[in-house]
Structure 1
């Protein structure tokens, strides 16, 4: 039997993930500034680009959750 859809803490989870993603982006930027390895710099920049795209998706999710909550969904 599947679990019921409990979305009460979705916003909290998404906000946590946003914070961690931003933290990882900042750490990657620090590593980019410190390393002379061009391959590593490129890989870190590509990761941050993917993280930026993920952040956009997570922010959209939060907006969707807010709309759902406003409309009475839980």
Structure 2
């Protein structure tokens, strides 16, 4: 069984889409935090947003690397 060749041509677009979705989820959670009186829910959503922010930082670094590799022809 042959493994699939590494096709990275759409990585920048895929990562950018993930970044956009994560930012949207952060905004939605922030809205829910503002609207709820449930302190447990607020804490849970805040913790999720913290993890999302960390993931965003990683994705931004990854997209920089991928964009550079794309410019260099994935050598």
Cross-structure match for 1:13:
14
Q: Deviations over 1:7-43 (max 9, x none)?
A: 0000110010001000000000000000000000000
Gapped regions of structure 2 (runs ≥ 5): none
| Gap regions ≥5 residues in structure 1 | none
* CA RMSD, 1 decimal: 1.1
1:4 aligns with 2:2: no
Distance across 2 between alignment mates of 1:48 and 1:11? 23
Aligned residue number for residue 73 of structure 2: 72
Task: Compute the TM-score of the two structures, normalised by the length of structure 2.
Answer: 0.93
